[in-house]
Amino acid sequence: MVSLGSKMNGTSENGYSNGSVVHSVNSNFEEKLDELRNLIGKQDGDPLRIVGVGAGAWGSVFTAMLQDAYGSFRDKALIRIWRRPGRTVDRATATHLFEVINSREDVLRRLIRRCAYLKYVEGRLGDRVLHADEILKDGFCLNMVDTPLCPLKVVTNLQEAVWDADIVINGLPSTETREVFEQIRNYWKERITVPVIISLAKGVEAELDPEPRIITPTLMISRATGVSIENILYLGGPNIASEIYNKEYANARICGAEKWRKPLAKFLRQPHFIVWDNGDLVTHEVMGGLKNVYAIGAGMVAALTNESATSKSVYFAHCTSEMIFITHLLAEEPEKLAGPLLADTYVTLLKGRNAWYGQKLAKGELSLEMGDSIKGKGMIQGVSAVKAFYELLSQSSLNVLDPDENKHVAPVELCPILKMLHKILIKRESPVQAILQALRDETMNDPRDRIKIAQSHVFYRPSLLGQQS
């Protein structure tokens, strides 16, 4: 992929001058675009319409990567992003944006050429109010202002954005997905063709009646729109949005029906962003939500112990043992998830927004009363995931054998960190410092014991993911 700055100065991302290398890269992207257009049934003169719904950090970066790769083929692809109108940029953020712009010669020249520079001068001085949708058009995501993106075609009218879309990218938090896609359904009533939807959301809900079940964003979308789950996919992986846009090497998986996942994996793959495909949509999606739960606790432990490597490693051992235990409840072949789950967990604990949130809570720089939508970061999806997994795993109908007590207990009783996070974040019965009390409780079993329990007992509950036993 050739970056915007590279296009401006005539070099590729690898430093090659314009010529055969750049031509080869562009030809490869055009070939992939033609293949996907043919699969979807697009005719000459009718562009493939790709729309990102939601403009958080990952949603904006994902759409911007597609724009970088395919936006130059204007007769073949039309790429847009939707975000709600009206959100303003405060003066402090406008000042910071101004500093970022002036530190980047390519961005500065681009804005001057587009006659867009003056508004950032005025925003810094307080003479003009900037809005999130207008700065997005210039390549700035409000949740990630330090990382300039390519300019995006921004639409603030949801109907205009989606009514004729061939591919819809769900970049919304899981907590907003159902509401927005219920609106979208109204705009698709007269459609003849069925769109393809790729969900980036990592979060879950618990449905307790008629039986305990996890509800994932892809299921929310299917229920809200009536689109078959065969046309809805999940993309996830150990990714930090700003690093991916800055071309740090990354992997991801797109999960769903074979008809779409294999062609889309090829279409989305770029030299620095390798996309594999997998048929196990729901399990990967659930795991994407599960790691956010434990990332919050990791941030708390890091802050409370002054970044003690020893304490963080102890926490990592216990939290991963709980995650392994939970995967044995959810997956028939949990070992297949071990690598992807641990990789995603690792990067989220290192630098994800959920770990950041846990740190800020522990340092007293944020409070629970501020909610889980944080300025400059967006939605902290691990909070709602804590509630969902706790409620689900508290159900007596899912009871498992606790060999130490020689009795059946709800699965959550074997997950002390999850229980403590629920007490801290949801019930608010314990202070943040209690996470260390739980971790240092001398009655806490060796993490190996929990993994051994999971591996030696038949815990798999297919009904949790809506499957038959």
The label of the residue with tokens 């402090």 reads 92
Strand extents, DSSP E, 308-412: 373-374, 378-379, 400-402, 407-409
- Note whether 388 and 413 are within 8 A (CB): no
- Note whether 49 and 160 are within 8 A (CB): no
- List the structure tokens of 285: 């999606």
C-alpha angle with apex 435: 430 to 437, nearest 5 degrees? Answer: 90
Is 291 an active-site residue? yes
Cα 223 from chain centre: 20
Distance CA 162, CA 176 (A): 16
DSSP tag of 186? H
Residues whose CB falls within 8 Å of the CB of residue 426, separated by 6 or more in sequence, listed in order: 383, 386, 387, 390
In the set 76, 291, 360, 419, the catalytic residue is 291
- Note whether 225 and 184 are within 8 A (CB): yes
CB atoms within 10 A of CB 391: 17
- Note whether 12 and 2 are within 8 A (CB): yes
Residues facing residue 82 across a β-bridge: 53, 155
Residue 210, preceding peptide bond in cis (omega within 30° of 0): yes
- List the structure tokens of 273: 């962003």
Q: Where does residue 11 rank: exposed (0-12), middle (13-18), buried (19+ CB within 10 A)?
A: middle
Distance CA 112, CA 178 (A): 40
C-alpha angle with apex 353: 436 to 465, nearest 5 degrees? Answer: 85
Q: Which positions are catalytic? A: 291
